[in-house]
Structure 1
Amino acid sequence: MQKIYEPENLMEGELLQAMLASEGVEAHLTGRHLLGGIGELPVFGLLGISVDNDQAERARALITAYNGASPFSGDEPDVFPDVLVC
């Protein structure tokens, strides 16, 4: 196992873990239970995504592609119901 990525927060970590699982890569999110100790533990570097050594290169490529993706133009709806526009 090797740590391949440090997510900014728990939500990003769980999102990336699920994305990797959907691509057939088994990933482990380490440090999620340490977040309750913030204040006594350092704030950065607690979370990590780890995968098996043989899947590390593919997992890094998938995360890089995911982070670099942008939405297709024209996919946004013209009107967002129940949204207050200021």
Structure 2
Amino acid sequence: MQVAYRAHNLIDAHLARHVLEDVGIPAFVFGENLLGGAGELPLFGVLRVCVPDSSMPEASAALQAAGLGDDLPGTGSDPISLDDPGLLPA
């Protein structure tokens, strides 16, 4: 299995999973059960949506089409940009 999407929260993870399942790609959310144990665990990067190796190209295309492509592994994009007109500095 390969990581198709790294989620920031549980809602994003399940949204990505449902997008993939709607196009016929089996997907699994890893790290869902670890959210309650914050002691020794990192607070971010726990949730991952994984797909079979052979489905990775289709999964990437489906997530991009759904507007979830910013958090695909390997894109290196910054999720927060001050150039976005919807974000204002505090």
Does the TM-score normalized on the shorter chain lie above 0.5? yes
Letter aligned with residue 58 of structure 2: R
Taking the aligned partners of 2:36 and 2:55, their CA distance within structure 1 comes to 30
Deviation per CA, 1:18-66: give whole Å up to 9, x if none: 1111110000000000000124311111000100001011101111121
RMSD: 1.2
* Partner SS for 1:37: coil
Indicate the structure with greater helix content.
1
Q: Are 1:10 and 2:33 counterparts?
A: no
Moved over 6 A (4+): none
User: Which TM-score applies when normalising by structure 2?
Assistant: 0.70
Q: Which runs of 5+ in 2 are unaligned?
A: 69-90
* Partner SS for 1:38: coil
Taking the aligned partners of 2:39 and 2:63, their CA distance within structure 1 comes to 29
- Percent identity of the aligned residues? 37
Taking the aligned partners of 1:55 and 1:26, their CA distance within structure 2 comes to 8
* Partner SS for 2:40: coil
Larger radius of gyration: 1
User: Which TM-score applies when normalising by structure 1?
Assistant: 0.73
